[in-house]
């Protein structure tokens, strides 16, 4: 959120300083699976459905813009997604999802076992599947590399290894931030500290609390690449990058800031992945990692734009969809600050 927002503000002529206690992209944004899951992440009647769908559509242009600017590819691919059901109850649910999404004008098909396996031949036998051909993905690490390269070519000043100690507030207005032994004044301050956003002293109590939800990931390496469609089950997901890497996820754990990858987490992820795509049992174990989704509660899908404290703007609380909503957030925060 910090990188994307800094670039968007700079493009509109603002002088921007990006503050990061580690290096840009050190946390959740590099750890994500990169699913642009506008449809699989939406429930019927969701107020954000249109925003999600537009955010997904806007990625094509953003990927091209970042490539032109930096020469780097962010791995944007419209690889489609199958949400599969193994039980009758799940089958009912995926059938209903496909139906309401079609009625809402989105591309979604309810498929039987044969139809689903025609789309993804590596799929296990299923009771039913919903197919969302427009769901897409990016490679979050590649996205962060491109954002950092874009920033390096911009006027944004990056200060890495700098911890924001607190917001600087006088006369009921946020006037910047206090660093170690230094106050940095600013007309506008953007809170983009992910799962740590509520730990920055000075954030008003009226801003919903952001807490970490740990997610673990297992990357498998499949040579040659065989799975081609993203697959989601009730227990997890499988995201083939197209080059042999298959990202499997993920856990949803309230574990504080403990970043461990656990035996139970890896087992649950592998069980779900291999159940959906049995051939993955033969893939090589590539890497494991974990990070924290910034979660502000079920009623608060994100915290974006002006805050109750004048001068302070929010770009946080995106939980499971921060990669999908990165550019949208950057544009909205920029509009909130610059008009």
Ligand X SMILES: Cc1cc2nc3c(=O)[nH]c(=O)nc-3n(C[C@H](O)[C@H](O)[C@H](O)COP(=O)(O)OP(=O)(O)OC[C@H]3O[C@@H](n4cnc5c(N)ncnc54)[C@H](O)[C@@H]3O)c2cc1C
Are 31 and 290 spatial neighbours (Cβ–Cβ below 8 Å)?
yes
Phi and psi (nearest 5°) for 166? -170, 170
Q: Please say which residue, 106 or 179, places its beta carbon nearer to ligand X.
A: 179
How many Å apart are CA 16 and CA 189, to the nearest integer? 10
How many Å apart are CA 288 and CA 50, to the nearest integer? 33
User: Least distance in Å: CB of 97 to ligand X?
Assistant: 18
Q: Please say which residue, 176 or 249, places its beta carbon nearer to ligand X.
A: 249
Q: Kindly list the residues in this chain that would bind ligand X in the complex (CB under 6 A).
A: 1-2, 19-22, 26-29, 31-35, 163-164, 192-196, 200, 215, 217, 249-250, 291-294, 316, 318-324
Question: Taking Cα atoms as reference points, which of 103, 141, 109 lies closest to residue 23?
Answer: 141
What stretches of 228-297 show up as alpha helix (H) in DSSP?
263-276
Phi and psi (nearest 5°) for 147? -65, -45
CB count within 10 Å of CB 234 equals 14
Q: Please say which residue, 292 or 313, places its beta carbon nearer to ligand X.
A: 292
User: Least distance in Å: CB of 275 to ligand X?
Assistant: 19
User: Least distance in Å: CB of 103 to ligand X?
Assistant: 25
Residue showing the smallest CB distance to ligand X in the complex: 322
User: Least distance in Å: CB of 293 to ligand X?
Assistant: 5
Read off the tokens for 332. 């909205």
What stretches of the chain show up as alpha helix (H) in DSSP?
2-11, 28-31, 49-70, 88-103, 113-119, 140-152, 263-276, 326-338
User: Least distance in Å: CB of 20 to ligand X?
Assistant: 5
User: Least distance in Å: CB of 279 to ligand X?
Assistant: 22
How many Å apart are CA 70 and CA 61, to the nearest integer? 14
Q: Please say which residue, 90 or 139, places its beta carbon nearer to ligand X.
A: 139
How distant is the alpha carbon of residue 207 from its chain centre?
A: 21
Q: Please say which residue, 245 or 320, places its beta carbon nearer to ligand X.
A: 320
Rg (CA), the chain: 20
How many Å apart are CA 44 and CA 20, to the nearest integer? 37
Q: Please say which residue, 21 or 67, places its beta carbon nearer to ligand X.
A: 21
Contacts of 149 (CB under 8 A, 6+ apart): 69, 70, 71, 72
Q: Please say which residue, 116 or 164, places its beta carbon nearer to ligand X.
A: 164
How many Å apart are CA 138 and CA 272, to the nearest integer? 22
User: Least distance in Å: CB of 261 to ligand X?
Assistant: 10
Q: Please say which residue, 125 or 256, places its beta carbon nearer to ligand X.
A: 256
Phi and psi (nearest 5°) for 196? -100, 5
User: Least distance in Å: CB of 123 to ligand X?
Assistant: 20
Q: Please say which residue, 215 or 236, places its beta carbon nearer to ligand X.
A: 215
User: Least distance in Å: CB of 252 to ligand X?
Assistant: 9
To the nearest 10°, report the CA torsion of 22, 259, 221, 65.
-40
């Amino acid at each position: 959120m910090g990188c994307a927002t800094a670039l968007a503000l700079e493009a509109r002529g603002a002088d921007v300083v990006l503050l990061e206690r580690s290096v840009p992209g050190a946390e959740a944004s590099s750890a994500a699976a990169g699913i642009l899951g506008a449809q699989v992440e939406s429930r019927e009647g969701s107020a954000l459905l249109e925003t999600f769908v537009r955010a997904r559509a806007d990625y094509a242009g953003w990927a091209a813009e970042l490539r032109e600017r930096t020469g780097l590819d962010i791995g944007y691919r419209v690889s489609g997604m199958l949400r599969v059901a193994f039980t009758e109850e799940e089958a009912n649910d995926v059938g209903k999802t496909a139906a309401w999404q079609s009625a809402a004008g989105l591309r979604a098909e309810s498929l039987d076992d044969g139809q689903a396996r025609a789309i993804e031949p590596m799929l296990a036998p299923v009771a039913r599947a919903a197919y969302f051909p427009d769901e897409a993905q990016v490679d979050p690490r590649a996205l962060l590399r491109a954002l950092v390269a874009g920033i390096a070519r911009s006027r944004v000043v990056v200060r890495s290894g700098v911890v924001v100690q607190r917001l600087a507030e006088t006369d009921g207005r946020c006037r910047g931030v206090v660093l170690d032994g230094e106050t940095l004044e600013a007309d506008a301050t953007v809170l983009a500290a992910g799962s740590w956003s509520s730990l920055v002293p000075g954030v008003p109590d009226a801003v919903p609390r952001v807490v970490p939800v740990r997610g673990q990931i297992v990357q498998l390496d499949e040579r040659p690449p065989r799975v081609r469609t993203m697959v989601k089950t009730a227990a997890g997901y499988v995201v083939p990058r197209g080059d042999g890497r298959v990202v499997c996820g993920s856990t949803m754990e309230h574990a504080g800031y403990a970043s461990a990858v656990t035996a139970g987490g890896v087992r649950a992820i592998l069980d779900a992945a291999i159940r959906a795509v049995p051939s993955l049992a033969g893939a090589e174990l590539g890497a494991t990692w974990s990070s924290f989704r910034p979660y502000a509660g079920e009623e608060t899908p994100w915290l974006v734009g002006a805050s109750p404290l004048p001068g302070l703007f929010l770009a946080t609380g995106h939980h499971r969809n921060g990669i999908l909503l990165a550019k949208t957030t950057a544009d909205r925060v920029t509009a909130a600050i610059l008009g």
